[in-house]
Amino acid sequence: MCNAQAAATTSRRCNKTPSSALSFLLFYTLLLLTALDNSVLAINGPAAFIAKKSSVNMAVKTNNNNESSALRELKDTIKTQAAEIDRLKKELLSKKDGVVVAAKKKVSAPSGGHAHGGAPDNEDILDYKDKSSFSIACERVPWLALFLFSLSFTALIMNGFEHTLSKQIELAYFVPLMAGHGGNTGGQAVGTVLSALSAGVITRQDAARVIGKEAASGLIMGLTLGTMVGPISHYLMGISKHVSTVVSVTFPLLSTIAAFLGSSLPFVCVIL
């Protein structure tokens, strides 16, 4: 019986030994795996931290570079705009100075006799293209009336030759009057067109329109003065009706021809 118990105890010990060894092996396997995981974490952790830190630094550097590039572009844009503003200011000042010089430029024209007479001021010259024939005529009629009055003294001188012109004395009386009027009308047209050409208000391409405008203004002036001179010469001076009628009809024709020729001469000179 003792032998049987000993055999049973030995059998239990033999059966218990393999399970203990297996448990020990599993325990150390777990320890080894844990150590390996910790070593991996110890190795990869700083590397990941360094990589992350380097990526953050690269991102910061990229942002700094982008900000520097944007700042440089902004500075370049500001410099370019400042230069453009300075250029525009200079152009505006030069244009303003040119307009002021043109406005202050004196029109060298005598004011009496057969010359230009009452030459329009510089502001009128600058606005010449926008004026109508009627406004031009209204500005010149008073001066032409003054010239007619002064030229009447020439007619008085011709009365000294009454014995020679006894048969045509009435008509001869108006010969110097109409000759002087034609010179004054043409002189005004020449002066106005020359001034406008010098100021750059009109060019050669405007020749037809300017000549037509001057001729129309001459016709208006002639009609105005003819309707005045005819009745005055007949009712106040005692001139015969047929001579007064001839004078009244002659004034519009004379003024139109004189204004046409006077405005044409400056363009002819420019072309030549």
Question: Over its length of 272 residues, how does the chain's per-residue pLDDT go in tens digits?
Answer: 444 444 444 445 444 445 566 666 766 676 666 665 555 445 555 555 455 556 555 655 666 666 677 777 777 888 888 888 888 888 887 776 665 555 555 444 444 334 444 444 556 566 777 888 888 888 889 888 887 887 777 677 667 767 756 766 777 778 878 888 998 999 999 999 999 998 889 988 999 999 999 999 999 999 999 999 888 988 888 888 888 898 899 999 999 999 999 999 999 989 88
**Which of 45, 77, 109 delimits the end of a domain?**
77
Residue 259 within a domain: yes
Q: Are residues 136 and 260 in the same domain?
A: yes
**Which of 52, 77, 102 delimits the end of a domain?**
77
Residue 113 within a domain: no
Contact 140, 217 (CB under 8 A): yes
pLDDT at residue number 118: 45
Q: Are residues 130 and 256 in the same domain?
A: yes
Q: Are residues 62 and 133 in the same domain?
A: no
Residue 106 within a domain: no
Q: Are residues 141 and 224 in the same domain?
A: yes
Residue 102 within a domain: no
Give the number of domains in the chain: 2
pLDDT at residue number 80: 82
Q: Are residues 137 and 207 in the same domain?
A: yes
Q: Are residues 3 and 62 in the same domain?
A: yes
From the centroid of its chain, how far is CA 213?
Answer: 27
Q: Are residues 46 and 156 in the same domain?
A: no
15 φ, ψ (degrees, to nearest 5) = -75, -30
| Dihedral (CA of 69, 74, 77, 83) sign | negative
158 vs 152: CA distance, rounded Å: 10
165 vs 160: CA distance, rounded Å: 10
Q: Are residues 256 and 132 in the same domain?
A: yes
Q: Are residues 3 and 71 in the same domain?
A: yes
**Which of 60, 77, 94 delimits the end of a domain?**
77
Residue 208 within a domain: yes
pLDDT at residue number 54: 60
Q: Are residues 127 and 18 in the same domain?
A: no
Residue 89 within a domain: no
Residue 204 within a domain: yes
Provide the domain limits for residue 219. 122-271
Task: List the structure tokens of 177.
Answer: 């009057």
Q: List the one residue out of 124, 127, 123, 154 whose CA is nearest residue 140.
A: 124
8 vs 46: CA distance, rounded Å: 58
Task: List the CATH number of the domain containing 239.
Answer: 1.10.357.20
Residue 216 within a domain: yes
Q: Are residues 178 and 255 in the same domain?
A: yes
22 vs 45: CA distance, rounded Å: 34
